[in-house]
């Protein structure tokens, strides 16, 4: 039972919100008895609910939850889970934050996070202990500027108001900062805002219509600087440079991403002669890390600007043994095998929903000797790994990597090896 609004060790009264065959999800309504392990939070933050547990305790709990998911949901008697890789810096690590505009109790403009469980109430944020101080300063400047302009927050229930979100991204290693304001259709003194944010490397404005709460829709206009963010990753002593489009995914914890990719590459067991498929390849991070040690790497990704980034990233880093394809893994995998030949290694890094049974079947069809599964959700890794195990793959190792300190989210890398191959 995964209970939002509680930490391990609490006794709570909770309401079940989702019931699955192997597990359920619930929301805490009242705290009956607090966990004796609770500590005071640094600063209230709805995105950091586990900050009331010491970091060591968080790590132990995550490792335990991976083991638990694989045993209970995946039916693995003794899951081969290795010690979790902790983050060196468990605070102020996020390189991307999405803030929401709202109206405070006095009707004034606030900019912060949704109150847990309340889709229409926003709590103001003054200090965001998961983002850098630079991001804090930028957010406060945007808030003050919008207040001084008398701009109003968009109200989803009424369909009125203008300001929706502020998305801030940082290229931490390159010292880059990007601000993207998301609004309803309409106008404002955009050039003045861009001038007020003169230390940002890029200022963008997205106009989105409709009530959907997403920062991915709408038309985006560049107000100042560049629309792509520059970042670099250091893996195996090499430094790879990346450009990241506003629509593209990038791991939120840069330093831990380097560890995650190095681990994925290590588990791929490359000797230089392999053909590797990187499914869900994003801007090409994993593919480029692996290409340093493989014969060739082929990536599939559905978001076209991310594919364009991946192609450009390969060119910039002078990596010639990679190719990227825009497509849905569900339909693009079979044609890729026909065109390029069977892969020796398949890497998958899907969104939280994991792989559908059909996609697992497609992966199995490739008869790859190794499948490296990068997962941000052990409850979907577990049934996918079970399906592969039933088809003759051995789950040989699972290593959690703490990408999301102070939160219950868990990332891990698993290796599945084909028996006899």
Interface stretch with ligand SAM, choices 77-85, 139-147, 247-255, 390-398 (CB under 6 A): 247-255
* Positions in 114-173 near ligand SAM (CB under 6 A): none
Q: Which is nearer to ligand SAM, 97 or 110 (CB)?
A: 97
Give the burial string for 368-379 (b: 16+ CB within 10 Å, else e): bbbbbbbbbbbb
Q: Which is nearer to ligand SAM, 138 or 374 (CB)?
A: 374
Helices (H), 150-284: 190-196, 254-268
Which residues in 282-384 belong to E strands, given as ranges?
296-301, 322-326, 345-348, 370-375
Cβ neighbours of 227 (radius 10 Å):
18
Q: Does 249 bind ligand SAM (CB under 6 A)?
A: yes
CB of 301 to ligand SAM, least distance (A): 5
CB of 327 to ligand SAM, least distance (A): 7
Q: Which of 130, 294, 300, 415 binds ligand SAM (CB under 6 A)?
A: 300
Q: Which is nearer to ligand SAM, 203 or 291 (CB)?
A: 291
Q: Does 303 bind ligand SAM (CB under 6 A)?
A: yes
Residue 353 buriedness (CB in 10 A; 0-12 / 13-18 / 19+): exposed
CB of 86 to ligand SAM, least distance (A): 20
CB of 332 to ligand SAM, least distance (A): 7
CB of 237 to ligand SAM, least distance (A): 20
Cβ neighbours of 212 (radius 10 Å):
11
Q: Which two tokens stand for residue 331?
A: 């339909």
Q: Which of 251, 313, 366, 384 binds ligand SAM (CB under 6 A)?
A: 251
Which residue from 256, 264, 344 is spatially nearest to 298, judged by alpha carbons? 344
Q: Does 375 bind ligand SAM (CB under 6 A)?
A: no
Q: Which is nearer to ligand SAM, 254 or 406 (CB)?
A: 254
Parallel, antiparallel, or unpaired for β 296-301 and 275-279? parallel
Q: Which is nearer to ligand SAM, 112 or 354 (CB)?
A: 354
d(CA 46, CA 357): 34
Measured in degrees and rounded to the nearest 5, phi and psi for residue 363 equal -65, -40
Residue 412: active-site member: no
* Positions in 305-364 near ligand SAM (CB under 6 A): 306, 328-330, 349-351
* Positions in 180-209 near ligand SAM (CB under 6 A): none
CB of 251 to ligand SAM, least distance (A): 6
3-state secondary structure of 322: strand
Calculate ∠ Cα 314-214-176, nearest 5°.
45
Q: Which is nearer to ligand SAM, 178 or 285 (CB)?
A: 285
Q: Which of 190, 302, 356, 397 binds ligand SAM (CB under 6 A)?
A: 302
d(CA 148, CA 26): 41
**Per-residue interface string for the shown chain with ligand SAM, residues 252-291, x marking contact by CB under 6 A:** ----------------------------xxx--xx-----
Number of residues counted as binding ligand SAM (CB under 6 A): 19
d(CA 327, CA 313): 18
Ramachandran assignment for 299, one of left (phi > 0), alpha (psi -120 to 50 degrees), beta (any other):
beta
CB of 109 to ligand SAM, least distance (A): 32
Half-sphere exposure at residue 366, Cβ-oriented, CA atoms within 13 angstroms: 34
Q: Considering the candidates 146, 289, 376, 412, report the single residue annotated as catalytic.
A: 376
Active site residues: 376
User: Which residues sit at the interface with ligand SAM, rule CB under 6 A?
Assistant: 249-251, 280-282, 285-286, 300-303, 306, 328-330, 349-351
């Amino acid at each position: 039972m995964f209970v939002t609004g509680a930490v391990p060790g609490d006794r709570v009264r909770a309401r079940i919100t989702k019931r699955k065959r192997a597990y359920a999800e619930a929301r805490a309504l009242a705290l009956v008895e607090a966990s004796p392990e609770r500590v005071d939070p640094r600063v209230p933050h709805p995105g950091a609910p586990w900050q009331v547990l010491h970091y060591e305790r968080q790590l132990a709990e995550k490792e335990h939850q991976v083991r638990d998911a694989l045993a209970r949901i995946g039916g693995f008697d003794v899951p081969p889970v290795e010690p979790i890789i902790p983050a060196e810096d468990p605070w102020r690590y996020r390189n991307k934050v999405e803030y929401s505009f709202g109206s405070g109790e006095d009707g004034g403009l606030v900019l912060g996070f949704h109150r847990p469980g309340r889709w229409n109430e926003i709590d103001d944020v003054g200090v965001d202990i998961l983002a850098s101080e630079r991001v804090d300063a930028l957010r406060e400047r945007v808030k003050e500027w919008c207040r001084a302009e008398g701009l109003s927050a968009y109200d989803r229930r009424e369909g009125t108001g203008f300001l929706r979100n502020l998305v801030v991204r940082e290229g931490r290693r390159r010292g880059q900062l990007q601000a993207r304001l998301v609004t309803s259709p309409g106008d404002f003194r955009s050039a003045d805002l861009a001038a007020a944010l003169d230390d940002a490397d890029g200022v963008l404005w997205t106009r989105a219509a409709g009530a959907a709460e997403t920062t991915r829709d709408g038309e985006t206009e560049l107000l100042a600087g560049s629309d792509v963010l520059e970042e670099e990753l250091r893996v195996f002593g090499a430094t790879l440079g990346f450009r990241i489009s506003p629509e593209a995914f990038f791991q939120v914890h840069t330093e831990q991403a380097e560890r995650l990719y190095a681990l994925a590459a290590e588990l791929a067991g490359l000797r230089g002669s392999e053909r590797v498929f990187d499914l869900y390849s994003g801007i090409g991070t994993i593919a480029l890390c692996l290409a340093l040690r493989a014969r060739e790497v082929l990536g599939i990704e559905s978001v076209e600007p991310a594919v364009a980034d991946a192609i450009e990233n390969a060119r910039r880093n002078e990596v010639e043994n990679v190719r990227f394809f825009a497509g849905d893994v569900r339909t693009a995998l079979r044609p890729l095998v026909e065109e390029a030949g069977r892969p020796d290694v398949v890497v998958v890094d899907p969104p939280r929903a994991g792989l559908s049974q059909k996609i697992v079947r497609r992966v199995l069809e490739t008869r790859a000797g190794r499948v490296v599964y990068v997962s941000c959700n052990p409850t979907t890794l577990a049934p996918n790994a079970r399906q592969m195990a039933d088809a003759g793959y051995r789950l040989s190792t699972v290593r959690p990597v703490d990408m999301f300190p102070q939160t219950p989210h868990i990332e891990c890398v698993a290796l599945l090896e084909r028996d006899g191959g």
